[in-house]
Every structure is written in C-alpha cells, then in structure tokens.
Amino acid sequence: MTESSYEAAGVSIERGEKAVDLMHSAVEATHGAQVLGNTGGFAGLYALAGYAEPVLASTIDGVGTKVMVSRETGTYASLGVDIVNHCANDVLATGARPLLFLDYVASGRLDPEAVAGVVRGAALACGELGIALVGGETAEMPGLYAEGDLDVVGACVGVCERSEVVTGEDARKGDAVLGLASSGLHTNGYTLARKVVEDAGLSYSDVPDGFDRPLGEVYLEPHRAYAREVAALRDAVEVRGMAHVTGGGLPGNLPRSLGGLGARLDASSWEVPGVFSLIRALGNISEGEMRGVFNLGIGFCVIVPAHEAERGIETLRGAGCESWRIGEVVERGGVEFV
C-alpha cells in the first residue's frame, strides 16, 4: 500500500517556508513603532493612537486576470504594487488615510520566487505610502488552481477623524469634477484587454506601432496611487466627494461620490493614454463599451466647489499628478458625456 504525504498530494511546506524567507525582510521594513509583535503571528497588531473620534475604513480586492499577463511575461512584482495601490485608493476615497495592509497569494503549485516577488512589490508600495504590511497568507491549493495559476488579493484598513469622512453627500449642482491621470489600465478590464491581443495574434513581447516598449510592459504598468496628491489637495480646497475609477469606468464609479446627483463630462478635456486607443482599434470596440470597462486615463475623481477648481488643479499638478477639470455636477443622476 503506497504511503501518502502532503508533499505527494501537491502541497510543499518547504516551498512555503522558502517563500516566507524570501519576503521576510521586505515585510518588516514597512513596520514602524505602531506595529506590535513579530512577523509570523496569528494576526497583525497595530497600536492606534492620536485620534479623538477615529473612524476605520476597510476594503478588500484583487488584481483579477492581470495575473495572466504576469504569467506570460514572468514579471510578478508589479502585481504587489497593483494590489496595494488599488486598495489604498479605495480607502482614500472615503476620506481616510491608508494605514495597514494584508495580502493573500494563492496558487496551484507554489513558486517561491514568484510569490516573494509579489510580496516584495507590495512591501515597496506600502513603504512609499507609509502603510504597514502587517500580515498575509500564502496558499498552495492543487486541484483548485492549475499549475501556473496565481491569485492575488489584498485588504487595506485606513483611519480618519469622523469629521474628515467624505461620503459625497456634500456635493452640489455646479460643483467641478476634477480628474486625476491614470497610469494606464490599472487593474481592471484585463479579460477584454487580453482577448483583443489574443484575437489579433499579438505577443506581449511585440512593440506596437507608436509605442516604445513591449506590449507586456504597457499592460503591466502599475496601478497608480493618489494618497499624497489628495492629501495636498485637501489642505488647499474643500473636497466634497471622491471616486476611485475601477471596474465600471467613470459611469460605474463617479456616481458613488455624488450623493444621488449626476455628472456631465467633457470627453475631450483630458488626455487618453495610447493603450486604450490600441485596445479600441484591435477589438473594434464601441466607445460606450470602452467607457464602461476602462478608466480611459482618469484613475481618480474629486468633487470640489467650482470656484476652487483651478486652485485644485494647480495643487494636484504641483504634487506631481496631471489633472484636468473634466466636468460638472448636475441634478440628473448618472454620467453623461458631451
């Protein structure tokens, strides 16, 4: 009778321990005095202090099928940056400051180098934003995931004073909508973005006309973070609503920041990155479909009083983020493009 073992069943404790060893120093580098205990405990501990009426904001999300582009190119670190910045932006849209982060990486057969690459990328992004990476989970699940499959998920918690919460309920008709530039696809729409590449018979190593780098690098451009820019903006103007533009594009996300009102946007008021024009042309995709799937160059929106719009744009650009006045708040719900 053949002896069974965890290793023979497809799960390697040794590979898991190697992955942890490879990421350990990067994770601990994000810890400040507020993080208690050592890496490897059953839960991350964070000492919250300095708030009179603290409100916690939390979110969880994944990078979706962008992992399949990473698998094709063998580049994984950007996924860690993606998931941190994606979740941090969601927390930011509530008015909170991203505070701590946890990651989850699952696979059919654990590749220690790939997993460590993801976590090191997450640690890098956390360090740049002043976020503590307090814990995570690495799961090897043969049978549920095929060999080579990878899933990347993250959870972020932020904090602010109750008086600093932004819900969009303060938005008013005539307010200005400011659009902050995205870095490209971010982490949404990859099922369609990959399909058009496959259908066109292209490779991620190809350099399309009008581009100066391979398509894989363009598709894997990390999701942009907006925490520093928005912090500067809130010091300069009144912010009445914020929206992180993810799945669903502007039509699906901007109304969430308007307290029941709507927006009229000028589609010619901002610069659309070339990757979206490429996807549109390769797939012969309608403009309505593009707007409902991709961010089209606007990764984050902020609602401010109309008379403070120019000051807001100057502040954002001074903080290093290209931005535009892309529209105004209107009474009728939804998003209208003109």
Give the Cβ contact number of residue 308 at 10 Å: 19
Q: For residue 1, is it within any domain?
A: no
**HSE-CB of 184 using CA atoms within 13 angstroms:** 18
Boundary residue ending a domain (164, 193, 209): 164
Boundary residue ending a domain (164, 186, 219): 164
pLDDT at 67: 95
- My answer on whether 200 and 314 are in the same domain is yes
Q: Which residues contact 270 (CB under 8 A, 6 or more apart)?
A: 179, 181, 297, 298, 324, 326
Question: Confidence class of residue 5 from pLDDT cuts 50, 70 and 90?
Answer: very low
Q: For residue 145, is it within any domain?
A: yes
Put simply, whether the predicted model's pTM sits higher than 0.85 gets the answer yes
Boundary residue ending a domain (111, 129, 164): 164
Q: State which residues form the domain around 308.
A: 176-337
Report the alpha-carbon distance of residue 261 to residue 165 in Å, rounded: 19
- My answer on whether 52 and 127 are in the same domain is yes
Residue 3 has pLDDT above 60, yes or no: no
Mean pLDDT of the chain: 91
- My answer on whether 332 and 201 are in the same domain is yes
- My answer on whether 228 and 81 are in the same domain is no
Domain of 126: which CATH number? Answer: 3.30.1330.10
Residue 149 has pLDDT above 50, yes or no: yes
Q: For residue 171, is it within any domain?
A: no
Contact criterion met (CB below 8 Å) for 184 and 221: yes
- My answer on whether 285 and 226 are in the same domain is yes
- My answer on whether 188 and 288 are in the same domain is yes
In total, how many domains does the chain have?
2
Q: For residue 169, is it within any domain?
A: no
Q: What percent of the chain has pLDDT over 70?
A: 91
- My answer on whether 155 and 237 are in the same domain is no
Parallel, antiparallel, or unpaired for β 54-62 and 150-161? antiparallel
Q: For residue 137, is it within any domain?
A: yes
Q: For residue 95, is it within any domain?
A: yes
pLDDT one-digit tens code per residue, 8-58: 545 555 665 655 665 566 667 777 777 776 666 777 787 888 899 999 999
Q: For residue 170, is it within any domain?
A: no
Domain of 192: which CATH number? Answer: 3.90.650.10
Among 86, 102, 318, smallest CA distance to 225 is for 86
- My answer on whether 155 and 265 are in the same domain is no
- My answer on whether 202 and 271 are in the same domain is yes
pLDDT one-digit tens code per residue, 153-210: 999 999 999 999 999 999 999 999 999 999 999 999 999 999 999 999 999 999 999 9
